[in-house]
Amino acid sequence: MSVAGSLLAAAGPLVYYSEDPVHVTVRELPVPTSSSGQEIDRRLAEMAVSATAPRQIVTITVGQYGQVIDVQFPSGAYRTLPPADLASALIQTLRKAQARAREEVAILMAPMTPPHFDATGAQLTAPTQPDESGIFQKTTH
């Protein structure tokens, strides 16, 4: 069973630790009683994933589509950061919460998706080459 799958079936609060210092928490939802469309819709509507930056600079909660539900500053640590560092912490924390939300959606949708289908969605890599105009950069997949 994958880490994400074992998290979904675990009792108690679901907590996911990634290799970087951003801490991600998934609100516990009851284990599904069926894989019906209505049950999945209900679970998706209840989904909330929170990520907290190191030193508790910021906690961002997103919903099933990665939309921001809540932003909190649990400590005063943000006050000592230069604006660029605070912006970086916000973006990094948001991206971690959104990535984890995509993983949770993929887990919920797994019973209804074809084998080998990546429900997390393809992510574009950073642009590496300018296009023909030299103004924009080509994206690679």
- What's the predicted TM-score (pTM) here? 0.64
d(CA 115, CA 15) in angstroms, rounded, equals: 27
CB contact set of 138 (below 8 Å; sequence gap of 6+): 127, 128, 129, 130, 131
The tens digit of pLDDT for each residue in 46-79 reads 999 999 999 999 999 999 999 999 999 999 999 9
Domain ranges of the chain: 3-138
Give the per-residue pLDDT at 32: 53
> What percent of the chain is helix, strand and coil (3-state, nearest 5)?
40, 20, 45
Give the per-residue pLDDT at 9: 37
Question: What is the mean pLDDT of the segment spanning 77-91?
Answer: 93
CATH of domain 3-138: 3.30.1310.10
Question: What is the mean pLDDT of the segment spanning 91-98?
Answer: 94
Give the per-residue pLDDT at 107: 86
Amino acid letter, 135: I
